[in-house]
């Protein structure tokens, strides 16, 4: 059965559901998956905040180092085990995998109130991240089986909202539950477990609800999942097969480059934003808040806009333009010396970021077959984590080095057309981040042009299809 037919039929149940849900979410099945993601994302954020708070409390005098170590444990698994998680997403029954991951995350969080040392927190963070990687890979690979192809950009817009729109809600819920635990902890006898205990147990409930929502889905079992066995040798061959497919498919390769390098270049804003607001804009913490708000509004505008008009857009070309425009907007924003102008360009950067996310995920889901989809999305998550990790770690160091170099060479300012332009290290580093994104756009153009989707290329139907993974000339003979 085709994916669209499967999504339309749902085993005879979809036709009897509310038509409004189908219009808004593509299908009732995807609506249930989206509800699961909303609840699961809420649980992820609450868990991250709670673990950070516990690390700061348990770390004592070295709370900063303790928090950094625990948070690093949420990045490392994706760098080294992301591809293997993708193989699992392709080899296991995805519905069961998501259910077991939700239950596993709930079990880990249920035990966290009893943790009293950093080493155990690091181990818990590693386990949680592995479960999250597998859940996310299985979820993204399942979306094309639940909605029609033309609805994928809208589905990814809804997914982005579920993933990041729950953060402010999770912060408020965590703060309220901590306050409640502090007020009534002695009454219920849990005061000795720490103020985060109530929030963590609430978090367990979110993952159980997510598992229940996933259990109602009717997902097809792909052929690779029917054996029920994971062979390590075969897993390694599967990883290599996925890498060969990425190298041979220019669309997938271009999207991965655009998303990973775009996130890496744009990620410089996270550690350098407060410094830029203070040193260049002279606005302090309040100015950084304005920049974050502008960026968030821009992302929302990009996501909503591309969802409304995506049916009339050439996805490959718009993805490329968004990457190039995003790098340009970041450079111009870093050039501004007034908060209003910098915020306007940061909002434009957010519009491009939202567009790149929605169209990038949609292009991957359209381009990759079901049996490879988990591996490709796991590779995407691993690549973006690596680039973001490098941005978070390298950008502050590079900013300091460039600041010293600028001071020694040009006294941190140059004259342009009779005006003085300040060149602090933070501005130079943000410019470099924008150039990285533009360079990624050039690589994306080369890949998409090879596939017949870029500017100045032949139509895609005139370009030979890439060789399927595992095929050989002997097979053709």
pTM, to two decimals: 0.69
What is the per-residue pLDDT across 193-204, written as a single tens digit (0 to 9) for each? 667 788 888 889
Return the closest-CA partner of residue 429 out of 302, 276, 285: 276
Give me the chain's average pLDDT, please. 78
Provide DSSP, 263-305: HHHHTTHHHHHHHHHHHTS--HHHHHHHHHHHHHHHHHHHHHH
Distance CA 194, CA 79 (A): 32
Contact 435, 206 (CB under 8 A): no
Q: What is the pLDDT of residues 114-130, one digit of tens each?
A: 888 888 888 988 888 88
Picking from 80-84, 389-393, 410-414, which range would have the lowest pLDDT averaged per residue?
80-84
Enumerate domains of the chain plus CATH numbers. Answer: 1-220 (1.20.1250.20), 235-457 (1.20.1250.20)
3-state DSSP call for residue 324? helix
pLDDT > 70? residue 240: no
Distances (CA, A) of 157 to 170, 360, 362: 20, 11, 10
DSSP assigned state of 420: E
Confidence of residue 346 (pLDDT cuts 50, 70, 90): very high
pLDDT digits (tens, 9 = 90+) for 258-267: 888 887 787 7
Residue 402, Cα to own-chain centre: how many angstroms?
29
Q: How far apart are CA 396 and CA 276, in angstroms?
A: 11
Query: Can you state the percent helix, strand and coil of the chain, rounding each to 5?
Result: 80, 0, 15
Encoding tokens for residue 223?
A: 């052929």
């Amino acid at each position: 059965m085709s994916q669209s037919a499967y999504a339309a039929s749902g085993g005879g149940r979809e036709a009897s559901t509310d038509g409004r849900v189908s219009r808004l979410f593509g299908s009732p099945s995807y609506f249930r998956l989206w509800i699961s993601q909303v609840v699961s994302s809420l649980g992820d954020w609450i868990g991250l905040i709670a673990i950070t708070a516990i690390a700061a409390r348990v770390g004592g005098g070295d709370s900063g180092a303790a928090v950094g170590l625990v948070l690093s444990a949420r990045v490392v698994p994706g760098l080294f085990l992301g591809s293997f998680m993708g193989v699992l997403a392709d080899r296991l029954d995805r519905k069961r995998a998501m259910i077991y991951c939700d239950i596993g995350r709930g079990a880990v969080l249920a035990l966290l109130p009893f943790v009293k040392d950093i080493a155990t927190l690091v181990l818990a963070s590693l386990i949680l991240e592995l479960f999250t990687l597998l859940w996310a890979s299985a979820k993204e690979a399942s979306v094309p089986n639940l909605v029609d192809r033309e609805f994928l950009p809208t589905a990814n817009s809804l997914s982005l909202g579920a993933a990041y729109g729950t953060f402010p809600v999770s912060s408020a819920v965590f703060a309220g539950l901590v306050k409640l635990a502090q007020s009534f902890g002695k009454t219920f006898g849990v005061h000795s477990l720490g103020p985060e205990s109530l929030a963590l147990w609430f978090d367990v409930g979110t993952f159980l609800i997510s598992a229940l929502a996933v259990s109602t889905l009717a997902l097809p079992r792909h052929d690779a999942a029917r054996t029920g066995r994971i062979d390590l040798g075969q897993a390694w061959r599967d990883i290599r097969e996925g890498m060969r497919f990425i190298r041979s498919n220019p669309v997938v390769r271009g999207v991965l480059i655009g998303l990973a390098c775009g996130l890496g270049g744009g990620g410089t804003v996270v550690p350098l934003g407060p410094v830029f607001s203070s040193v260049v804009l002279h606005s302090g913490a309040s100015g950084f808040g304005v920049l974050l708000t502008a960026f968030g509004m821009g992302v929302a505008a990009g996501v909503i806009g591309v969802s409304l008009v995506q049916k009339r857009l050439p996805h490959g070309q718009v993805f490329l333009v968004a990457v190039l425009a995003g790098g340009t907007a970041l450079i111009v924003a870093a050039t501004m010396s007034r908060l209003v102008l910098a915020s306007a360009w940061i909002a434009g950067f957010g519009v491009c970021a939202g567009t790149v996310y929605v169209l990038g995920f949609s292009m991957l889901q359209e381009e990759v077959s079901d049996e490879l989809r988990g591996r490709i999305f796991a590779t995407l998550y691993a690549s973006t984590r690596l680039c973001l990790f490098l941005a978070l770690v390298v950008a502050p160091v590079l900013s300091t080095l460039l600041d010293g170099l600028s001071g020694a060479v040009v006294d941190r300012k140059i004259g342009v057309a009779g005006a003085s332009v300040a060149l602090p290290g933070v501005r130079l580093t943000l410019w470099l981040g924008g150039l990285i994104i533009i360079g990624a756009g050039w690589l994306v153009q080369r890949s998409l042009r090879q596939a017949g989707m870029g500017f100045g290329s032949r139509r895609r139907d005139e370009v030979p299809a890439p060789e399927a993974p595992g095929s050989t000339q002997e097979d053709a003979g």
